Amino acid sequence: MPDNDITPQTIKVQLSRPIKVGGVEVDEITVHEPKVRHLSMLDPLRLGGDESGNVALTNMGSVMQIGIEQLCGLTPGEAAELSVPDAMKIGKVVLDFFGFAPLDLGAIKSGL
């Protein structure tokens, strides 16, 4: 029998400031590997341009927020309590799962 058992990947992210999740204070968040059902969270992404010919993805902040909630199992209220630096660390992990390189973040002009 072939070995097709692939264990889903999870990545733990240490928080600089603890938040309450389910009423319990946590200082670490686990990001779960997305599944096909999570692809719809990329729907808000739009490719936009300006008069100078610069092209960038927009709505990245919304995608990151939805990804943080869905892949970390956080309620919108819990996710809202994350500090921006912690949300960016978690958001980078979320975007990495979808194949967005860190350089892509530098090209973002709006949406955060």
Number of domains in the chain: 1
As beta bridge partners, residue 21 has 24
Q: Is 94 part of a structural domain of the chain? A: yes
87 neighbors 76 (Cβ within 8 angstroms): no
Per-residue pLDDT averaged across 102-107, rounded? Answer: 44
82 neighbors 92 (Cβ within 8 angstroms): no
H helices present in 73-101, as ranges:
76-80, 84-97
pLDDT computed for residue 110 by the predictor: 39
Per-residue DSSP letter, 82: S
Q: Is 3 part of a structural domain of the chain? A: no
Banded model confidence at residue 97, pLDDT cuts 50, 70, 90: confident
Per-residue pLDDT averaged across 85-105, rounded? Answer: 78
β-bridge pairing 55-58 and 46-49 = antiparallel
CA–CA separation, 31 and 38 (whole Å): 13
Q: Is 52 part of a structural domain of the chain? A: yes
Q: Is 81 part of a structural domain of the chain? A: yes
**Structural domain of 94:** 10-35+44-106
Q: Is 25 part of a structural domain of the chain? A: yes
Among 13, 29, 9, residue whose Cα is nearest residue 21: 29
Q: Is 1 part of a structural domain of the chain? A: no
Given a cut of 80, whether residue 34 has pLDDT beyond it is yes
Q: Is 88 part of a structural domain of the chain? A: yes
H or E segment to which residue 49 belongs:
strand 46-49
pTM: 0.72
